[in-house]
Structure formats: structure tokens, C-alpha cells
Amino acid sequence: MPKCFNFAAARDWLYRQAFSRAGLRSTTTDLGEGTVMHCWVPKAHSPSKPNLLLIHGIGANAMWQWADFISPLIPHFNLYVPDLVFYGDSYTVRPERSEAFQARCVMGVMEAQGVLIKTMSVAGISYGGFVAYSMAAQFRDRVERVVLCCAGVCMEEKDMEEGLFQVKSVDEAVSILLPQTPEMVKQLMRLTFVKANYKGIPSCFLSDFIDMMCTYYKEKKDLIEALHKDRKLSDLPKITQPALLIWGEQDQVFPLELAYRLERHVGEKAQLVILKNAGHAINIEKPKEMLKHMKSFFVDPLPSPKQVNRSNGRKGD
């Protein structure tokens, strides 16, 4: 039987064309010691624009997760959109698997691109939020503002045992977050969307998605395990930059409790926005709302700590 049309490859090609038309170009940077990073960077850097770095999560590469945001943001920023290690054309032969290592790799790309100190803001989705937070903690003099979207940075290893998550073990989380069958892709969608509409999606599309996005399976499994192992809130440094936390009200991957916990941990410089009728995949379910809050935070003057505290972090959409 002939193989059906490869929808995943076609969509990937369309995303590449869209990124290029928007004014970005594809680059690879050799960081040495067996680490190579791919990143979308401005074709023409504008000194009058601030620099904004967009970091994707576990589910797919940078293009698939940030596609809806490029055209609206590019008039305001010099955009940098990297593929994290083991995504797209980024890889390493080194054994490090922590978000701190990912953060150093991304900063290496930014340095290679000549991004000036104190002119960089960062936004991260889910796992990308862990990396963004680590960048803000490690490079306080280079990162000005941070947006963390559904990023359970404040989770602890004991949360799994105490029943905070839908999954009961790291192995179960890996099996869902790194699906190997069409049925597991559907389970991932049920976990990450409020309304998972996959009935009209052919199984061959889901299989193509797995073939394209679920490469480096063992290495990505190691990334997830490293994220969870021995994690304690007491070990998490406090970032000093203004931080916007955007969360889906019905997030089943990183429940809302982690948003409140992170808001308390960061303190008066944190502002929490909760999107109603949204789950974990807010970049797909609520892109317009997410974009509105990001632009307001990065472009408009920040509210004072008093105003943030008065909102009590319960601002909804």
C-alpha cells in the first residue's frame, strides 16, 4: 500500500517558508566540544529594536511551537528562536542533560550572534520556561525580562509521590511526552488541551509527526529525568528580573498550584496571568491572549510592585 501524503513534512516546510518570509534566517553555531546549535536569527539586525529570545518546550521544535508568534512580534523585536539541544539540528555529544546546560548553550548562540549585554529578554514555553529561568538566574546582567508559560519551575521531586500530577511516575510522563504511537499522541493531546480535537487527523499524520519530532528519544528521556531528579524548591535560585507568568487555568501537565508557588518564590517582581478555558498548550489554544500579554509586558511600561500585589496574581482572560 502506498504511503499517504506526509503532512508533517509539508507543515514543517511551510513553517520554514513562513519564518523566512517574516525576516528570519536559519543558522547553526558550533559551540565546540561536540555541541552544535540551530537558531533562527534576524536577516537584518536593527539596533533600535530590543532583542527577544523565544524558547520552545518538549513537544516539538522551535518552528512548530512559535509559528503563530513570529509575524506579530517581529515588527517590535530582533527575534532569536533556537532549537534546544536534541531538537531540530541542535545536538551534543557531551553528557550534560540539565536545563542549566541548555541555558548555557542558548547563551553561547546569543554571544556568537553578537547580542549586546542588557538588551535581551526571554520567553519560554513549558520546558523552555525551565531553560529561560535558568538563563535569568545564571546571566543576571544579560537577561532583562522573563516570560514563563506553563513552566513548572517550582516543582519538587516529592510532588509526584504526593499526587500533584496526572501521571504517577517519570516513566509514565516520558511515555506520554515522547509518544511512540499514534494513540500515545492522542493521549498527549488529551493531557495538554482542554478540548483535544484529533478525530479528523489521519493516523499516518500522527506517525509522520512521531518520525519527525520524536528523534533522540533516549536523550530527550534523559532531559525529562534530569528535570525531575532530586529537585527541591530550596535549591532553586530566585531570579531578580521582572517576570510574567502565563498559565492555563486547566493545565494538567503543570497544575495551577505550581504557578502560585512560582509567583510566591519570585516575589514582588512576578505577575501571574491565568488564561481561562486553556490547558498546558496555551500557545496553540490561546495564542492571541498569550501574545497580548507578552507584548504588553515586553513593550509597555511594567506595573509597579504595588499594582502587581494588588492584582494578587489572579488576573484572568
pLDDT digit string, tens, across residues 39-73: 999 999 999 999 999 999 998 899 999 999 999 99
Report how far residue 85's alpha carbon sits from residue 101's, in angstroms, rounded to the nearest whole number: 9
Banded pLDDT at 17 (limits 50, 70, 90): very high
Cell digits of residue 235: 535549591
pLDDT digit string, tens, across residues 171-200: 999 999 999 999 999 999 999 999 887 777
Task: Please report whether residue 2 resides in a domain.
Answer: no
Structurally, the chain folds into a number of domains equal to 1
DSSP reduced 3-state for 208: helix
pLDDT digit string, tens, across residues 222-274: 999 999 999 999 999 999 999 999 999 999 999 999 999 999 999 999 999 99
Query: HSE-up of 249 (CA within 13 Å, CB side)?
Result: 10
Task: Please report whether residue 209 resides in a domain.
Answer: no
CATH number of the domain encompassing residue 37:
3.40.50.1820
Task: Please report whether residue 196 resides in a domain.
Answer: no
Task: Please report whether residue 114 resides in a domain.
Answer: yes
Task: Please report whether residue 174 resides in a domain.
Answer: no
Task: Please report whether residue 198 resides in a domain.
Answer: no
This model's pTM is above 0.85: yes
What pLDDT does 305 receive?
Answer: 43
Task: Please report whether residue 30 resides in a domain.
Answer: yes
Question: Pick from 92, 85, 64, 55: which is nearest to 209 by CA?
Answer: 64
Task: Please report whether residue 67 resides in a domain.
Answer: yes
Residue 248, strand partner residues: 275
* pLDDT at 308 exceeding the cut of 80: no
Domain extent, residue 303, equals: 8-158+232-316
